[in-house]
Structure formats: structure tokens, C-alpha cells
A and B are shown apart, each in its own frame.
Chain A
Amino acid sequence: MTGSRLIAIVCAIFALPVLADEPPREPLQAVVDYHINQRLQSAGIVPAATLEDFAWLRRVTLDLAGRIPSQSEVAHFRSDSSDNKREVAVDRLMNSADYAYHERNFLDNLLQSEYDGDKEWRAWLLRSIREGRSWHEMFRTMMNGNDDNSDEKPALAFLKKRANDIDAMTNDASRLFFGVSVNCAQCHDHPLVDDWKQDHYFGFKSFFARTYVTKAQLLAEKPPVEVKFKTTEGEDKVAKLLFLTGAVVEEPEDKRSDEQKKADDEAIQKQIREDNAPRPPRPSFSPRRKLVDTALSGENSQLFARAMANRVWARFFARGLVHPLDQLHSENPASHPELFEWLAREFRNHNYNMRWLERGLVLSDAYARTSVWESDGEAPAAELFAVGAIRPLAPRQYAMTMLLATTNPEDFNKWQSADAWPAKRRELEDRADSWRREFELPGENFNVAVDEALLFANGDRVMNDFLRDGGDKLVGYLLKIEDADETITRAFAAVLSREPREGERSAFREFMSQREEKRVDGVRDMVWALITSPELRFNH
């Protein structure tokens, strides 16, 4: 048995908590660990060991700041001997300039990945996060924002980009905000799920059916429009305004005269065709406003809270407590029902504060487990969360990581510890942005395309941006170090935040010794091997 293996088991035994009879009431991380550990215990499973300091800091920095930590951050964290050092680190990261960028990218990828490249939308997300707006506030603005309000206008992109396909708008709103993918119910009652009927699909669609965009790119709502559909029995039905929970919204009678209706239709046609048509008035009855009011009121608000709580969970644990994420229904129970209900309820009670949720989750023991399953046999089922999650980096996160891993580490230390970091971070964000299309946005069943491997193997952009031997780059920095062993040690520290292990060190040493005559190439290719390791590609 190797030494590290021994330590892992010792840690694991040490980590086995003594469970109380009652779940704790707070904090969030204690509640998480109570429920996760309870299920592990009843399954007789000893979870994977807790991460070493450097690895935990790397994981949490990638998750909250969207980048790897600098070496000074790692060193500082290691030398801190206080009990609450992880809390301090999490709070530091959540208050750093990085947090809002990474949180923004998370929400942008979630909501608008198909409509990539809307700068004003992205700026609105960033502003909202920096100003601490809650998730339901953001939702309200996306659904009901005012085109005349320059702050709110960009949020309407969610609806505007989908305005030519109301079915896409319906289903995207349903699955992204409420975790319910209703499109199966478009043609028939859902075959597997009793909760979802055609009435739900068309009822939910009724909230969006009046939405349109004028030629001048203003979001508007028409006066009453009937949504009709044919049931599988062939019956013609007119949909009510029906929320996904079954709550019905009553609508005032349409008292317009036929003449008025005709005039309204003509005005709408004019708005759709002509740049300078009079602006559409706000309707006296807005179904989208009613949707927001209904979705956030009383028991109906469960869906909204559950959907995001589940997504944030999946962000850190690679799968939802309910999985898949858009299948929140009675036939697809949560792996930890009590925990799931608690998280959703408390998320709502905390005013849909994403930071609260995120902070608690990354402070849990469940989050801090190593992703290596060293015990005999196959790893336990993923839904037990017995072993740390392995998650591919998102495009901007990967690009940012790559940029920082290949930067002169002294520069990185300097930027990171100085007041200049926010400006530097913004500059890096722009550079990472220019790389985003080179990498796939991870979805279910992510695997790496050969295109990506070819890019790193032969792309001149990789060579120029990451492997130059200038003084500002890692390669240039390493070339100034004469001792071969030291070069290797520092390269590992810069890219992987760790020491080389035996076997690794000897292989790298041999590689370098064969290249004494062409050291520049040797150092460059050593760095290449490090940055193309899966250890950098995944948060693990």
C-alpha cells in the first residue's frame, strides 16, 4: 500500500461523521453533509477522502473565480493554520473581481448559449451580479423588463431572441426557469409523466403566445390571442393561462369592439413591418407579468426555487439531486428528497440569493471529496456523491485557466495580490472570450473532440498565445532557471498547482536531458505536455 493511499483511508475514517438523529437547521453545509452522509451510511459506503489543501483551493477557485489560483494564493492558503480558513478563502473569492465574471458566464451559458455574442446582455448579467440582484429579480426583468429602461432592456434578449419561435420560447422558459421540459406534451400527454398534459404545454405557451418583437426591436404583447390545440382524441381546445403547477390565471373579458380589434391588428402589423411605427402600448393585461406573479407566489414558487437550487447543485457536483435537470416531476424523485426540499425552501427563504446557495455548497464536506476512487471495486453510484465530481471546464473557464497557467507565475502573483487585479481580470476575460469558440460548451455526455486535440497539437494560435518564450510567459520564465529539476518543479507548480510525483519527475527529467542542446524547445514541449493533461482540462 502506498503512503498516499494510507493517508486517504485514514482521512476517510476520520471523515466519517457521527450522525445526529435530527438534521441540523443550519448552516447550509451542515444540512448537506447530514443528508448526504446519512444515505452513504445506510448504504454502507465510506466516501472518498477529503482533498488536500492545494487541490481543494484549486477546485473552489475554478468554481467560484473561473480560474486557477496563483502560486501565492496556494502558498498563503497552505500556511494558514486557522480553523475557518476554507470559509475565509470562499468569502475572499466571492468578493473578488473574478466572481461576477464567472457567475455571469455560468448564467449566460445556461440561458443564452445558443445566441452567443450579445454584449449588452452579458453586460446586464454582470451588472446584476455585481449589484447583488437575486435570481427572481433577474427573472422578473427578463420576463417583464422595460425597453425604455436602459438597464432593463438588455435582459429582454432572452425573449427577443426566441420571438420568432414561440414553441422554443415556451419550452426554454419552462426548462430553464422551472426545470420542466414540456415539449413532449406538445403533441400528446407526456407518455411517462402524469404531471404533464397537453393542457400544461398549451396553457404555459399561452403566457408567451402574445409576445412579439417590432421592427424597431421592441418587445411587445398583443391583445388577447387564443391558443388552440387539438387533443390526441381530436377534440379542439382553447388553452387557458395555466401555470405548470396547474394554477390557472383568470383573464378579464376582452371587451374590445370588432373595429377596435381590427385597428389593433393593423397597428401590430405596422409595428412588425415599419421602423418608425408608433411604439406598442403596454397592454392593460400582460400574461407574462401574470406568469411571473404566479410563478413566484405561494406553493407555485417551489418549481422556480427547485429548478435553480438543482442547477447550482449540479454545477458543483456534476449532476443534480434530481437528474436530468429538466425533468423535475413526480416520476423522477430526487436522490435526497429531504435535502432537495430543504435547499429549495431555504433558497426561497433567502430571497433566491445565489451567493448564499453557492457558498454553502462549496463549504460542505461532500464538495471537498477527492475525485479519485481508490477503494476496491467500481465507484459507488454517482447519485450518492461519495466521490468528488469531475467536470470539464466551460470554454471561457478553460481559456482563462490556460492563459494563467502559461503566464509568467511571478506576474500572476503580482497581479493577483495588487489593486490592479480587477483591471487585469477584465483584460484576461476579453482574451479568454476570444478563445471561447475553440472549445465545446459541456453538456450531458461531454467528450473531447479530436478537433480540440488537433488544435493543441498543431495550432499556431496555441503556440503564440500559450507557448511563446517571451518574459511574460511561463516558457520564458522557466528558461531563466538553470537547474533542470527546479525547472520541472516550477512548471508543475504553475500549471497544476502541485509538485511532480515520482515517475512524473523522472520522465520529465529524461525528456529534458535529451534536449540540452535545444532547451527552448524542450521547455516549450514540457509545458505543452502539462497544459494538455486532462488534469488541466477538468475540474476534479
Chain B
Amino acid sequence: MFEAKFNKTNDWGIPGIAFAVCRHAESGKLFFGSSDFKVHEFDPSAEKPEPIAFEGDGHQSYVTTVALIGNTLISGGYDGRLIWWNTAERKAVRTQDAHAKWIRNIVVSADGKLLASVADDMTCKLWDAQTGELQQTFSDHVPITEHGYPSMLYAVAISMDGKLLASADKQGYIIVRNIESGETLATLHAPIMYTWDPRARRHSIGGIRSLAFSADGSQIAAGGIGTIGNIDHLGGNARVEVFDWKSAERLHELEDSKYKGLVERLEFHPNGKTLLTAGGDNGGFVTIYDLESKKIAHQEQAPMHVHGHVLDEWKSLYTVGHGKIAAWTIEG
């Protein structure tokens, strides 16, 4: 079992809601996207850390996702735009009207060459991360739910070797593709995470919100929320399903009733047996699962609903979310 000491070392209040964060390895600076439509730099090592907003023609809605390649930051938002920024100058270098609807998530391949984005126009797009050129568009998620309402495409992941692309939607469908051939390799389904309530309230607030490949690419984890009694609130168990995508076998169903809500973030440990999850309802959590025993290896209450996280070699962790940034250390 993964044994680690896991402590929150600091947290800072910020205005608004931070939806995503990444970290510059050398400088230790953080970059986060916010509900104030802006991307901010944040230096946790400063004496009195303050968010510093990037300037210029930016987003026109919530900035919900960020990725970093060297000194280039890429952000996506509910305005459908992808923006490439020079982090040193904090200025936009390229703006791409990437999607017709809200961009939910982006991810960059390990080699920094590929960028994948998902949006509520129900397309998953692959871009040249350097040039911003569109390479492929996948329109294979169903845009209207079986109940006649708009679906949403929340989550995207690229395998470590850069060969596999997966995306996951509101109804709980996960599609795994071969990037080079564009071929669909598997369609998996985690229907519980949809949360459609057919009787009492006739709507849903769930969906697969996070997705991650294991280091060897054989497993894929999906995060969301379990069955909700009263769909007005995020009152369901935090839920994770792990699949062997080739056989479509569901290897693990993990639910936590102590800290409830959406699993917004997922990351596999390189050992393939340990999974970090984070998210929340009105409050938040960081939970590390040991997959062999299917048990919680460690768990901490977060000072906010966690929307974004970034790990540094599983030694330190930053989480961002509602009104807060928090720093954590992992010793193990």
C-alpha cells in the first residue's frame, strides 16, 4: 500500500473561483484560470503571494482549463477560445476560436507536441500544441442525451506514450481512440455518473468530470459523482470507476461517503496502483486510493471545492478552487 504523510502546508484566499492550475517546474510559479475571465500568475514562494493577471485580449468567460509547455501557457474557456500565452511577458501570443461552445478541458501530451480539447459542442479536437493548427476533430459523442437534453463533454486524457486519446461525457460514455489512425478503440460506459433523476426533479448534474490513463496506458480512470438522492445539491458519493479499456472490464468502483461531491481531478501514480482524486461539494477533499486493496490510503479535507490540481513528482501538491489556493506536501 502506498504510504505517505500528506499535509496541507499553506492556503491563500483569492478572489473568485480558480478552475485550473499548472506549475512552472523551474520557477515554482503557478498559473491558474479564473472566474474573472483571466489567467493569473501566482508565486507561492513570495512573501505575500498575490495573483497577477495576464494582460491583453483574453477570454470573455470563465477560464476553465490551462496547460503549460515550457514557457508557453495554453488556456481554454467558456468563450470557446484557446489562447496561447507567453508566461514571461504575461501576454497572449495566439488566439484560436476553437469550439462553438464552452471548452471544458484541455490536455497536452507528455512530449509537448499535441494538445487535446473537449467542449460542449460535443467535439474532441487535436491541435498542434506549438502552432495551434487543428489536426483532427472527433464528433463521436452523442450531443443530445437520451432524455432529449444537451449533453456535455467534460473530460479528456492522453496516454503517457502519446498514442491514446480518451474523452468522456455527461451521460458517462468514455471513448478511447488511436491518435495516429483516428480509430475508435473502445467505448466504455459509467452510467451511474450521469445522475439523471427521471422522477423527482427531472434533470442531472453529474457527468464524467475527470479522466486519466495509468502510466502504462492499460487502465483508464473516470471521476464523477455517485447516485444523488436530491439532485439540487452535490449530495452523492465521490465516485471513481477504473477500467481495463481493452477488455472493457470495470476493475474498480470506488465511492467515498465521507467527503461527498464531484471527483474533478484524477491522477495515477507512476506505480499504477495509486490514484489521487480531488473535488468536492460545498467543501472539498483530496483522497488517495490504493487500488490493490480498493481502499483509501490517505484523505484530507481541502479548504475549498477543488477544481484544479498540480502535482510535482508526488512530492508536493497544489490545489485550486473556490476562493482558495492550497499547498500540500507528500512525504513517503
A and B touch in the complex (CB under 8 A): no
B-side residues, CB < 8 A to A, are: none
- The interface of chain A, by Cβ under 8 A from chain B, is none
